[in-house]
Amino acid sequence: MTAAEPKIDTESLLLFDNVGLHFDDVTALEGISFEMRAGETRVILGAAGSGKTTLLKAALGLIRPDSGRILLFGRQINDLKEKELFAIRSRVGVLFQEGGLFDSITVGENVAYPLLNRNTDAISMDHVGTKVVDALRFVELEQTVDKFPSELSGGMRRRVGIARAVITEPPLVLYDSPTAGLDPITANTIMALIAKERDSQNAANLIVTQRYQDGQLMANFRYNRTNGHLEPVSGNGGGNGNESNPTHTIFMVMKEGRLVFEGTQMELEASTDSYISKFVPKHY
Amino acid sequence: MRDFLTPPIAALQDFIILAGRAVRNVFRPPHYADDIFLQMDIIGVGSLSIVILTGFFSGLVITMQMSRALAQYGATGQVGQIVAITLVRELGPVLTAILVAGRNASGIASELGSMKVTEQIDAMRALGTDPIQKLVTPRMIAMCVTLPMLTIVSDFVGIFGGFVIARLSLGLTASQYWTSAYQALEYNDIVQGLLKPFVFAFVISLVGCFYGLRTTGGTQGVGRATTQAVVVASVWVFVLTALLTRIFVNLN
């Protein structure tokens, strides 16, 4: 392990307390409880339609639960009005499934959007321009600043989405299926960027995915700021238990709106539950 | 019965909430002036050519039809009066509104629907922008400003179309036609002719936004939302014109 360990902060960023949500007769979320702290990486696995995206949207207050409480940065967001939520949401970065970029404006304007939209003091356009180029350089797409999202490939759109999510350096970043529908090489590039962002900013990450490999990479690799590469956190590339889980990665598994597993990679791999073990390829 | 009635009543309730928020946002910052002007260009300038074309031909047709009936009473000289009243009070506002509903309610619904299914609306909310403030209110203001203007253009071009027939086919002089058309119009007709497009604009823009924002089910859902928006907006134009005409006829 070459990179310094992130400072462990026990501040609670996101708390779900017995959250339930139904759409007509369909149960989207049921009895969801967990607490996410600063410095943690949480990987939510689950089959399509298991409620992963709904959980992520509920965490942002985009969908309101029928029951239970959701606390974001210690503030209960269930009952807040939309305008009151804006200030809290500005501290959260989010990457939507297909990037969620605005089609009608350029890549540069998309990335600048969170900066220009914040209800803070006016910032100079030069500063915004510099930050946009920096954010796009981070995802290695600075040449696309004047292009429109429709001119980019799926993987590039997601990389721009990551740049937009992290330009304000938020303490918590939510990723909704960042690798869905991408080829393995592009998917690895995206995950490497997410790990790089996590270890550059010490941000907490909540990653919703169907691919175990995404979580495996987050749990066992760390970005080395000195040489600019991803490196395994231990000799054999595996996190073994809490003490040697330096990336503080916790796996969660969802099934039909319920949280059926919460634990480390080792606990996940040791699970004998037939549903949970389906997410862990045999060779790991 | 209850299952049958619940969805339309719930939809009406959602529509009224959307309309209330859109109107409230007119008086609240932030105001997106760029979006308002962009929409005025798309709705107003973009619809101008088709409104002129249909306005002209509707005036032309009304004059041809009416001249036959008036000829029986030897009153073809009064054709300008009939064309002016029909167009200013009813056909100008309704035809223009139907055209704009077909052209722009569909455009609004498909644009907002695509944004909804690609999570751009969620992204907007996540990034601290109220989609109603940013997307709905500018479209509503732009439509309320441009539709009455388009209607005025349509009315004038229609009356001019009538003049072309009156002059070439019926042999009326310009002063005969225009004096009869001008003198036929009363204050009540003008108010009615401008109030109707304003009300239609409000409904067409909000129906387009409403169906766009509640789109679900991917690209198929966008197509469905677009169709629903055009159908519902067009039906409301006819219902509202009947209601408004009834009110103004009673006022007379």
pLDDT value at B139 more than 70: yes
Question: What integer pLDDT is reported at residue B249 of this predicted model?
Answer: 83
pLDDT score, position A277? 87
Residue B1 is predicted with a pLDDT of 72
CB count, 10 Å around CB of A81?
A: 8
| pLDDT tens, position by position, A108-132 | 999 999 988 875 556 778 888 999 9
- pLDDT for A121 equals 58
Segment A181-203 mean pLDDT: 89
Q: What residue in A sits closest to B121 (Cα-Cα)? A: A100
d(CA B216, CA A141): 32
The predicted-structure confidence for B210-249, as pLDDT tens digits, reads as follows: 999 999 988 899 999 999 999 999 999 999 999 999 998 8
> Chain B: residue nearest A81 by CA?
B130
Helices (H), chain B: 2-26, 33-40, 46-71, 79-86, 92-100, 106-117, 120-126, 131, 137-168, 174-184, 187-213, 218-251
B114, HSE (Cβ side, Cα atoms, 13 Å)? 9
ipTM: 0.87
Among A105, A227, A224, A279, residue whose Cα is nearest residue B127:
A105
Average pLDDT over chain A reads 87
Q: CA distances (Å), A34 to each of A44, A59, A89, A259, B41, in order? A: 12, 11, 19, 9, 50
pLDDT in tens, A67-119: 999 999 999 998 898 888 998 998 999 999 888 999 999 999 999 999 888 75
Tell me whether residues A90 and B128 touch, CB distance under 8 A. yes
Q: Label residue A249 exposed, middle or buried (CB < 10 Å: 0-12, 13-18, 19+).
A: buried
Give the whole-angstrom CA distance, residue B181 versus residue A212.
77
Residue A175 contacts B, CB cutoff 8 Å: no
The tally of domains found in chain B comes to 1
> What percent of chain A has pLDDT above 90?
54
- Record the tokens describing residue B148, joined without a space: 């009455």
**Residue A280 confidence (pLDDT):** 87
pLDDT score for A241: 44
Q: How would residue A5 be classed by pLDDT, with cut points 50, 70 and 90? A: very low
Q: Do B22 and B141 form a contact (C-beta atoms < 8 A)?
A: no
Q: Domain for residue B7, yes or no?
A: no
Q: Report if residue B25 sits inside a domain.
A: no
Q: Would you say A202 and A40 are in contact if contact means Cβ atoms under 8 Å apart?
A: no
DSSP state of A71: E
A243 versus A158: the higher-pLDDT residue is A158
Contact criterion met (CB < 8 Å) for A117 and B123: no
Contact state of B114 with A103 under an 8 Å Cβ cutoff? yes
Taking the CA atoms of chain A, what radius of gyration do you get in angstroms?
18
Positive or negative, the Cα torsion across A193, A194, A195, A199?
positive
- Confidence (pLDDT) at A283: 56
Residues A84/A98, Cβ–Cβ less than 8 Å? no
Question: Does some domain include residue B158?
Answer: yes
Q: Quick check: is B16 in a domain?
A: no
| A158 interface with B at CB cutoff 8 Å | no
CA distance B200 to chain A (A): 27
The span from the CA of A141 to the CA of A189, in Å, is: 13
Mean local confidence (pLDDT), B165-190:
92
Q: What is the mean pLDDT of residues A179-200?
A: 89
What pLDDT band is residue A279 in, cutting at 50, 70 and 90? confident
Q: Report the sign of the C-alpha dihedral through residues B235, B240, B245, B246, in that order.
A: positive
- For B66, the token pair is 């009416």
- Which residue in B127, B214, B219 has the most chain A C-beta atoms within 10 A of its own C-beta, making it the best mutation to test that interface? B127
Is the C-alpha dihedral spanning A46, A49, A52, A53 positive or negative? positive
Kindly determine whether residue A62 and residue B122, on different chains, have CB atoms separated by under 8 Å: yes
- Minimal Cα distance from B132: which residue of A? A82
Residue B5, min C-alpha distance to chain A (Å): 16
Letter string b/e over residues A172-190, b meaning 16 or more CB atoms within 10 A of that residue's CB: bbbbbbbbbebeeebbbbb
For B81-92, how does the pLDDT look when each residue is reduced to its tens digit (9 = 90+)? 999 999 999 999
B23 inside domain: no
Interface contact B123-A118, CB threshold 8 A: no
Instruction: Among A20-34, A238-252, B14-28, name the one with the lowest average pLDDT.
Output: A238-252
Is B21 within a domain?
Answer: no
What is the rounded CA–CA span in Å between residue A132 and residue A147?
Answer: 14
The nearest alpha carbon in chain A to B114 belongs to A103
Q: Is B242 exposed, middle or buried (0-12, 13-18, 19+ CB in 10 A)?
A: exposed
Tell me if B190 is assigned to some domain: yes
Collapsing DSSP to helix, strand or coil, A217 comes out as helix
Rounded mean pLDDT, A207-221: 91
Q: How far is A244 from chain B (nearest CA, A)?
A: 35
Distance CA A120, CA A129 (A): 17
Residues 6+ apart with CB under 8 A from A266: A238, A239, A240, A241
Band of pLDDT at residue A244, cut at 50, 70 and 90 = low
Let me know if residue B231 belongs to a domain. Answer: yes
Query: Given a cut of 90, is residue B60 above it in pLDDT?
Result: yes
Beta strands in A87-132 (DSSP E): 92-95
pLDDT (0 to 100) of residue A282 = 66
A40-46: average pLDDT: 94
Name the residue type at position A43: V
Confidence of residue A1 (pLDDT cuts 50, 70, 90): very low
- Which domain, by its residues, includes B239? 32-251
